[in-house]
Structure 1
C-alpha cells in the first residue's frame, strides 16, 4: 500500500522518536541498521522528513536526527506519508487506472473509496508517541 520509501520513513520516524524519548540523537547509519534499510536510501528519506519538518537534523560532533520530545505526540503518520508519498495514496485507483472517478468508476471504485477513507482517518489519528511507546513497552517491534 505504501511505497518502500514511505515504509522506511515511518520506521525511521518511530526509531528517531524512541531515541528522542531517551534524549539521544541518532545517525543515518544507526537508523538504517535498525530499520533494515540501505544507508544511502535512508539518507534521502531522512532529507525529505527534515524538509517537511517531521524530524530535525543537528550537525556536528554530537549531531544526528531527533524529534523534540514535546512534538512527538503531534507528529501524525499522515505527516510522514505526505512528506514521502504525497497524497496519492488517498486518490489512487484500486486497480491502478489513471482515470477512475465517480463518473467513470472501475469495478472496485466504491469499495476502495471506503478503504482509502479509513486509511486516511487512521493515518491522521495515529501519532508517533503511541507507536514508540508500544515498542518501548514491548508490545510491538520495528525489526524481525
Structure 2
C-alpha cells in the first residue's frame, strides 16, 4: 500500500521521535540500522522529511536528526505519507487501473473507496507521539 520509501520514512520518523523524547539526536547511520534501510536511501528520505518540516537536521560533530518534543504530538502519519508519496494513496485504483473513477469504476471501486477513506482517517488521526510512546512502553516494536 505504501511505497518502500514511505515505510522507511514512517519508521525513521518514529525512531527520531523516540530519541527526541530523550533529548538525543540520531545519525543517518543509526537510523538506517534501526529501520533496516540502505544508508543512501535513508539519507534521501530524511531530506524529504526535513524539507517538509517533519524532522530537523543539525549539522556538525554533535549533529544528527531530531524533532521538537512539543511538535511530535502534532505530526500525523498523513504528514509523513504526503512528504514521501504525496496524496496518490487516497486517489489510486484498487486494481491499479489508470482510469478508475466514479464515472468509470473498476470492479472493486466502491469497496476500495471505503478502505481508502478509512486509511485516510487513520493516517490523519494517528500521531507520531502515540506510536513512539507505544514503542517506548513495549506495546509495539519497530525491529524484530
TM-score for both structures, normalised by structure 2: 0.99
RMSD value, Cα: 0.3
Corresponding residue SS for 2:118: helix
| Structure 1 residues 54-93: aligned runs within 5 Å | 54-93=54-93
Separation of aligned partners in 2, 1:54 and 1:121: 20
Gaps of 5+ in 2: none
Q: How many angstroms does 1:123 deviate by? A: 0.2
Runs (4+) off by over 3 Å: none
Query: Do structure 1's residue 105 and structure 2's residue 129 form an aligned pair?
Result: no
How far is 1:14 from its partner? 0.1
The C-alpha deviation readout for 1:23-55, integer Å capped at 9, x for no partner, is: 000000000000110000000000000001110
For residue 9 of structure 1, give the secondary structure of its aligned residue in structure 2. helix
For residues 80-129 of structure 1, give each alpha carbon's deviation from its aligned partner in whole angstroms, at most 9, with x where no partner exists.
00000000000000000000000000000000000000000000000000
Partner Cα separation in structure 1 for residue 122 and residue 57 of structure 2: 27
User: CA–CA distance in 1 between the matches of 2:102 and 2:10?
Assistant: 31
Match of 1:8 in 2: 8
Q: Number of aligned pairs?
A: 144
Q: Per-residue deviation at 1:140?
A: 0.4
Q: Which blocks of at least 5 consecutive residues in structure 1 are unaligned?
A: none
**2:19 is paired with a residue of what secondary structure?**
helix
**1:133 corresponds to:** 133
